[in-house]
């Protein structure tokens, strides 16, 4: 999708984008480099979802791609991925309590919005349990 300033016959450039507080729509602002006029693209929920589904970012992308980034972000319920180091550390926990530890670590991670379990997340859980 491209935006053209009709008055100047000039391609408009991306200025900023923001998701609505409800998270279901997207606003992207474009400006004319010649006359500075601005327009806002207001994407409806289906258009917003389509853009997300394609795994692209309106306005460009600077963040480094994370493994299975779109799948993990978009699944309503998914297992958290553990790093090798975190798995190895979990393996040192006695087997009979391992499932319980795994569950509490994952619960803690989900509450904090973590997308993967690292040794740092495990340290956080350990500290919170001491408190």
Partner 1 sequence: MKTYHEVAGDGGSDIPGQVARREARMRVRMASVAHSLAVMSGKGGVGKSAVTANLAAALAMLGHRVGVLDADINGPCMAKMLGVRGKALKLAPDGVQPAAGPLGIKVVSMDLLLPRTAAPVEWDAPAPPHPHTWRGALEATALEEFLADTAWGELDFLLVDLPPGPERWAGLHGLLPQCDAVIAVTIPSQVAQLTMQRSVISAQRLKAKLLGVVENMCNYLCPQCGASQPLFPAEGEAQAAALGMPVLARIPFDPRLAACCDRGAPFVAAHRATAAGTAFMALAARVSGYCDSREEER
List residues binding partner 1 (CB under 8 A).
Answer: 1-4, 6, 9, 11-14, 22-25, 30, 44-46, 48-50, 52-61, 65, 67-79, 81-84, 87, 116
Q: Which long-range contacts (CB under 8 A, 24 or more apart) does 32-39 make?
A: 32/5, 32/7, 32/8, 34/5, 34/8, 34/10, 35/5, 35/7, 35/8, 35/10, 37/5, 37/7, 37/8, 39/3, 39/12
Nearer to partner 1, 78 or 131 (CB): 78
Find the shortest distance in angstroms from Cβ 10 to partner 1: 8
Q: Which of 4, 20, 36 is nearest to 28 (CA)?
A: 20
Find the shortest distance in angstroms from Cβ 69 to partner 1: 7
Query: For the CA atoms of the chain, what is the radius of gyration?
Result: 22
- Cα–Cα dist 61/59, whole Å: 7
Nearer to partner 1, 36 or 130 (CB): 36
Nearer to partner 1, 2 or 130 (CB): 2
Find the shortest distance in angstroms from Cβ 119 to partner 1: 12
Find the shortest distance in angstroms from Cβ 19 to partner 1: 9
Nearer to partner 1, 39 or 124 (CB): 39
């Amino acid at each position: 999708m491209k935006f053209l300033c009709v008055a100047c016959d000039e391609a408009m450039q991306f200025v900023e984008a923001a998701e609505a507080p409800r998270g279901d729509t997207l606003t992207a602002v474009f400006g004319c480099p010649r006359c500075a006029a601005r327009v806002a693209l207001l994407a409806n929920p289906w258009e917003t979802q389509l853009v997300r589904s394609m795994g692209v970012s309106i306005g460009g992308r600077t963040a480094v791609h994370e493994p299975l980034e779109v799948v993990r972000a978009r699944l309503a319920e998914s297992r958290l991925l553990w790093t090798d180091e975190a798995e190895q550390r979990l393996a040192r926990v006695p087997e009979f309590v391992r499932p319980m530890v795994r569950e509490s670590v994952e619960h803690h991670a989900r509450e904090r919005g973590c997308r993967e379990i690292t040794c740092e997340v495990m340290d956080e859980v350990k500290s919170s349990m001491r408190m």
